[in-house]
Amino acid sequence: MLSRFAGVSMATASYNRIAGQSVERLAALSDGIFAVAMTLLVLDLRLPAAQAVHSERDLWRGIVTAAPQLLMYLMSFITLGIFWVGQQTQLNHLSRAHRSLAWIHLLFLFFVTLMPFSTKLLAEFITYRLALLVYWLNILLLGVALYLSWNCAIRFKLVKADIAPEISVAIKRRMVIAQALYAFGALLCIFSTYWSIAFIVLVQLYYAIAPRFWRRDVRE
């Protein structure tokens, strides 16, 4: 019995050493899930009801009514875009993957699939603080999972040998600062959820555009 148990333990240990080592397969899965999540965002957009539109003014009123949904779609699309770039940055610096890294990354992708839900919730209840906090929590969990993923890569020495130490520091610093800014934006819902949304959009625009001009030394 003991020998059989020892054999099973050795087989499990051997499997754990070889499982989930393909960075390419992990990147392919990530691309697919991000694509689906981004597509689901646009499927939640609704046109004005045809029976309620009888003039140009009615159509314009319907478009204005749909503005919160359009804003949430734009904000979430940029959010997913930023996190897609972030996880691609990490994967591009890995020489191989690891079973633990694969599961952390799957956790990250799980939070990606929740983005359409938190987006729709905020779009439907844009003036409610709880809806805003759920949306922010989704962003927070994405950031935490991505941070854990990079720490796991460092711990198991999965990064490429030629990576400069300052690159690793820059990746961590970028994630921490971004999450701090998102948290501040969520805190603004004390005054108004619109303040929170406006600040979060500004943070996203900064991270999507500013690095091209001011942080050319850190490749995304």
What are 120-177's pLDDT values in tens digits? Answer: 999 889 999 999 999 999 999 999 999 999 999 888 888 887 777 788 888 889 899 9
Among candidates 110, 108, 32, 44, which has minimal Cα distance to 76? 44
pLDDT of residue 69: 80
| pTM strictly above 0.85 | no
pLDDT of residue 10: 46
- The answer to whether position 13 is within a domain reads no
- Our count of domains for the chain comes to 1
Instruction: Give mean pLDDT, residues 104-119.
Output: 94
pLDDT of residue 148: 94
DSSP conformation letters of the chain = -HHHHHHHHHHHHHHHHHTT--HHHHHHHHHHHHHHHHHHHHHT--PPPGGG--SHHHHHHHHHHTHHHHHHHHHHHHHHHHHHHHHHHHHHTBS---HHHHHHHHHHHHHHHTHHHHHHHHHHTTT-HHHHHHHHHHHHHHHHHHHHHHHHHHHTT-B-TT--HHHHHHHHHHHHHHHHHHHHHHHGGGT-HHHHHHHHHHHHHHHHHTHHHH-TTS--
- The answer to whether position 205 is within a domain reads yes
Residue 5's CB is within 10 A of a number of other CB atoms, namely: 9
pLDDT of residue 68: 76
- The pair of three-digit structure tokens given for residue 28, joined into one six-digit string: 């392919």
Question: Are 218 and 211 spatial neighbours (Cβ–Cβ below 8 Å)?
Answer: yes
What are 37-90's pLDDT values in tens digits? Answer: 999 888 777 766 666 666 777 677 766 666 778 888 889 999 999 999 989 988
**6 has pLDDT over 50:** no
pLDDT of residue 158: 82
Higher pLDDT pick, 17 / 112: 112
- The answer to whether position 209 is within a domain reads yes
- The answer to whether position 55 is within a domain reads yes
CATH number of the domain encompassing residue 94: 1.20.1070
Domain extent for 90: 18-214
Q: Which residue in the block uniquely carries the two structure tokens 């191989």? A: 96
Higher pLDDT pick, 203 / 211: 203
- The answer to whether position 3 is within a domain reads no
